[in-house]
Amino acid sequence: VSSSAVACVLVAAGRGERLGDELPKTFVEVGGRPLVWHALRALARSTRVAVVAVVVPAGYEDKAGELVRDAGEGMSAVVVAGGATRQESVALGLAALPVGTDIVLVHDAARCLAPPDLFDAVAADVADQHDAVTPGLAVVDTLKQVDGSGRVIATPDRSALRAVQTPQGFRHDVLARAHAAAAERGDHDAPDDASLVERLGLPVHVVDGRPEAFKITRPHDLVLAEAVLARRGSDNPTGARRRS
């Protein structure tokens, strides 16, 4: 089982409009290193991931190659330019993976502090039992469904809801089929990869997510990321450190 070839598509090609920096979000720094560097470092420290397709905005390929060399600890990686939507960026990354990939993880570089053992746990769950796996956390806020004017329509039962994260893991053939079917339907803007598998009518399994796999979306999230890195300190599982 553990001999399955595991690859990861690391999507880093978004603009980061909600963060509002001039740089693409994944090239903004925390702890003195770009978000995508932290994500690459965690992937390099995963024991199961053998190869990574890094998907970056057009024009950032060379910079990404440098980050792979610096963070990758000899990791095998290919860098490709992304698309207009996250879904298209994932598809471009999938197309760049080597033939013979059995299991593929898809990860948001914006979740740059997701720990190495989360990649391993998701890959193991795909290898051992499930075709499609996503980490998820219980929802802490009460959620309201609203209409266009802000009027509350419903209060869904929170106990049945999960806030899902990445890395999501799939049998490669299942994810490839899910993306092909979406393209055929004319869908290009899926919120995540698991939802494309759901559309095939196939089961998706939720495993325990990790608070540190939160997504850097708005400026406040950078404050949180700095705090997480500071707490990791010198005994630091992703090797992130401040430049002096």
Least Å from the CB of residue 236 to ligand CTP: 22
Q: Which is nearer to ligand CTP, 14 or 124 (CB)?
A: 14
Q: Which is nearer to ligand CTP, 31 or 127 (CB)?
A: 31
Q: Which is nearer to ligand CTP, 105 or 124 (CB)?
A: 105
Q: Considering CB distances under 5 to 8 angstroms, the limit depending on partner class, which of ligand CTP, Mg ion, none binds residue 217?
A: ligand CTP
Q: Is residue 216 classed as helix, strand or coil in its secondary structure?
A: coil
- Each residue 7-26 as x (binds Mg ion by CB under 5 A) or -, in order, gives -------x------------
- Site residues (vs ligand CTP, CB under 6 A): 11-18, 25-26, 55, 82-86, 89, 108-110, 215, 217
Exposure string of 13-38, with b = 16+ CB inside 10 Å and e = fewer, is: bbebeebeeeebbbbbebbebbbbbb
Residues that contact Mg ion, how many (by CB under 5 A)? 1
The backbone region for 133, taken as left when phi is positive above 0, alpha when psi lies in -120 to 50, beta otherwise, is beta
Residue pointed to by tokens 């990861």: 8
Q: Which residue is nearest to ligand CTP (CB)?
A: 14
Q: Considering CB distances under 5 to 8 angstroms, the limit depending on partner class, which of Mg ion, ligand CTP, none binds residue 75?
A: none
Please say whether the beta carbons of 103 and 6 come within 8 A. Answer: yes
Q: Considering CB distances under 5 to 8 angstroms, the limit depending on partner class, which of ligand CTP, Mg ion, none binds residue 87?
A: none
d(CA 75, CA 94): 18
CB half-sphere exposure, 36, CA atoms < 13 A: 30
d(CA 222, CA 243): 17
Q: Which is nearer to Mg ion, 14 or 93 (CB)?
A: 14
Q: Which is nearer to ligand CTP, 110 or 123 (CB)?
A: 110
Q: Is the dihedral of CA 166, 188, 102, 125 positive or negative?
A: positive
Least Å from the CB of residue 159 to ligand CTP: 26
Chain residues in the site for Mg ion (CB under 5 A): 14
